[in-house]
Amino acid sequence: MTEHPLALAVNGRERLLADRLIAFEPRRPERAESVVVVGLGYVGLPTACALQSPTAQVTGFDISEDRLRAIKTGEVDLPEPERRALSASLAAGMLELSCDPSVLADADAVIVCVPTPVDAAHKPDLTALRAACETVVSFARRGQVIILTSTTFAGTTRQLLVEPLAQRGLQVGTDVHVAFSPERIDPGNFDHVQRETPRVVGGATAECAERAAEVVRRMTDSVYLVSSPEAAELTKLYENIFRAVNLALANEMADACAVLGLDPIEVTIAAGTKPYGFLGSFPGPGVGGHCIPCDPHYLLWQLGQQGLSTPVIEQAMRSIDRRPGQVVQRVVELLAEAGLDHAGARVLVAGVSYKAGVRDLRESPALPILAGLRRIGIDVHYFDPLLPEITLPDGTRMTSEPAPHGRDWDVAVLHTVHPGVDYGWARECPQVLDATYQFDAVPHRRVL
């Protein structure tokens, strides 16, 4: 390994981090190394693909046979080039798939990538993670490196891996090596590929960190070591809490701009010309995905157990939760301005995934928006070629409109604008609510 210096500005002071940010020289292992990725969802599958190399046998393990069939047939949310590469890897045997947990016993390294959502009360739901870790521990053997990547509260790695392994008689740091390395995957964004994105690693011991870094470096050119799994766990939460607070602020600034008759996108871009001290976000209809709507609640829950209040984070999350309701209210206002009763009005929501260019519906603001519009009697439909069928939280199933005609709708709500999709029909809609703030192809559009 060679040191790789990096200077970061922290609280206005330059800080050299060469002692913890390390770059790895290419090396030739004496034997092929086997890696098992546990969980093949939106994080696990890209992780398994990134780990492939001539010197590593990668196996993807998932308890869902339906998911494994989807991967084998290419029915997964990956860009076309990555989908072709996945197909080639499966055909060549560089990536194997299994629902048999016994594959864990033969692995040199195990990487856990399972979902960690929150329940209806915004409490952490570790059901999948607990089950995965129990399985990993039961098959663990001496010499293995076990890395947890799933976002969670500080102390989880120690609670679900280190302590159970010790109960099995496996000394962490000697017999097995355990670390936490939070995922950093940005779906649909080709500017942030895994190879060029640094990864944080926190080991249960210094040797654990070094051994885990050797595995993680297969996916990235830079690994930053922290002192413990807890430090790495909190790092991930801090990253997403920062984003949540920033997005809540962006939405509030958009509301302020509406009152003042200004364009929030113009103001945000102008503020972003400052080369220091400003990191802006664009407003929108809400916040979706598997990270920002969920992860901050892991810290809020943990600190709540300790009696600590965090008002900035709490207020940001309340603001984020309210945003879809503001979209619903704005639709009602636009209908009233047009002299229409909202009961029975026809409204089309365009784009329902949480992010442009992906088929990911998790925590999408479109779901509470659709449910809210239905609840007040609006005849609501949606259009999204990437998601032909969806299910609302109350179990209602909906099917995407195949070819919308603008004049068929009283209001069109632009929620997610996918690249390569024709939205020309929106110009014919009498009322267009642009919840993205960036769709200027319709001169008569309105914003929140």
| Count of CB atoms situated within 10 Å of the CB of 84 | 12
Phi, psi at 231, each rounded to 5°: -65, -40
Residue with tokens 């969806």: 390
Comparing CA positions, the residue from 17, 56, 21, 53 lying closest to residue 36 is 56
Distance CA 429, CA 412 (A): 7
Distance CA 156, CA 302 (A): 11
- Whether the CB-CB separation of 425 and 441 falls below 8 Å is answered with no
Helix (H) or strand (E) run with residue 2 in it: strand 2-3
Comparing CA positions, the residue from 157, 155, 152 lying closest to residue 137 is 157
Residues in the chain: 448
Query: Is 133 tagged catalytic?
Result: no
- Whether the CB-CB separation of 149 and 112 falls below 8 Å is answered with yes
Comparing CA positions, the residue from 425, 384, 443, 379 lying closest to residue 434 is 443
Of the residues 49, 133, 257, 291, only one is catalytic, namely 291
110: left (phi over 0), alpha (psi -120 to 50) or beta: beta
Distance CA 367, CA 388 (A): 14
Beta bridge partners of 397: 391
| 428-435, long-range: CB < 8 A, 24+ apart | 429/348, 430/338, 431/334, 431/335, 431/338, 433/327, 433/330, 433/331, 433/334, 435/284, 435/285, 435/327
Beta strands (DSSP E) in 313-404 are 346-350, 379-383, 389-391, 397-399
Distance CA 188, CA 191 (A): 9
**Which positions are annotated as active-site residues?**
291
